[in-house]
């Protein structure tokens, strides 16, 4: 692995939606790298609530305070995306021990697909360890207040999305 590649990290996910836990990880990882690229996967198989363009826009708003953090959507194999952007590190978040088994499998698979790229695991601050995008979506869908779990623009976008689905 060349030194230049290790200075570019990729934090991939569906970010449906981006949460305060994601932003916390980004805030703590950003100073470690010259560039941090948030790669937002289209993931049509997961049936995301928010369209890719909106997830990218909301993530850009949430990390706008970091000049060297870039947000990009992608619809390819993660390994191809990482190679395309010149990433040398894959950043992954671990909230609990239960996340580890799945994340370990992903890291092992990625090691075979892109052996020049290392996976780095970070844990969120304690106050964010219980937040997941799926819980946020469910609370919001049922009319609950998610403003303590996501940036304000995300809470608003979720409510608008549910209203659109109810009207349509």
Q: Would you say 28 is a known binding-site residue?
A: no
Q: Would you say 60 is a known binding-site residue?
A: no
Q: Verify whether residue 133 is a known catalytic residue.
A: yes
Query: CB-hemisphere CA count at 13 Å for 48?
Result: 20
User: How confident is the model over 77-113, as pLDDT tens digits?
Assistant: 999 999 999 999 999 998 877 778 888 999 999 999 9
User: How confident is the model over 8-62, as pLDDT tens digits?
Assistant: 999 999 999 999 999 999 999 999 999 999 999 998 888 899 999 999 999 999 9
| Rounded Cα–Cα distance for residues 39 and 13 (Å) | 6
Q: Which of 60, 66, 95, 141 is catalytic?
A: 95
Q: Verify whether residue 22 is a known catalytic residue.
A: yes
Q: Would you say 165 is a known binding-site residue?
A: no
User: How confident is the model over 4-17, as pLDDT tens digits?
Assistant: 566 999 999 999 99
Strands (E), the chain: 8-13, 35-41, 69-74, 89-93, 118-122
Q: Which of 46, 68, 80, 165 is catalytic?
A: 46
Q: What is the DSSP letter of 32?
A: G
């Amino acid at each position: 692995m060349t030194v230049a590649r290790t200075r570019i990290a990729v934090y991939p996910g569906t970010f449906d939606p981006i949460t305060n836990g994601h932003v916390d990880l980004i805030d703590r990882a950003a100073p470690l790298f010259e560039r941090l690229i948030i790669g937002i996967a289209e993931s049509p198989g997961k049936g995301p609530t928010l369209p890719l363009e909106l997830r990218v826009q909301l993530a850009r708003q949430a990390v706008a305070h970091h000049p060297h953090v870039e947000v990009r959507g992608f619809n390819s194999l993660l390994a191809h995306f990482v190679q395309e952007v010149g990433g040398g590190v894959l950043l992954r978040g671990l909230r609990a021990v239960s996340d580890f088994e799945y994340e370990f499998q992903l890291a092992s698979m990625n090691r075979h697909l892109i052996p020049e790229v290392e996976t780095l695991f970070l844990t969120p601050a304690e106050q964010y360890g219980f937040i997941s995008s799926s819980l946020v979506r469910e609370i919001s869908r049922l009319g609950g207040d998610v403003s303590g779990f996501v940036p304000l623009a995300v809470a608003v976008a979720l409510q608008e999305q549910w209203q659109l689905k109810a009207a349509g």
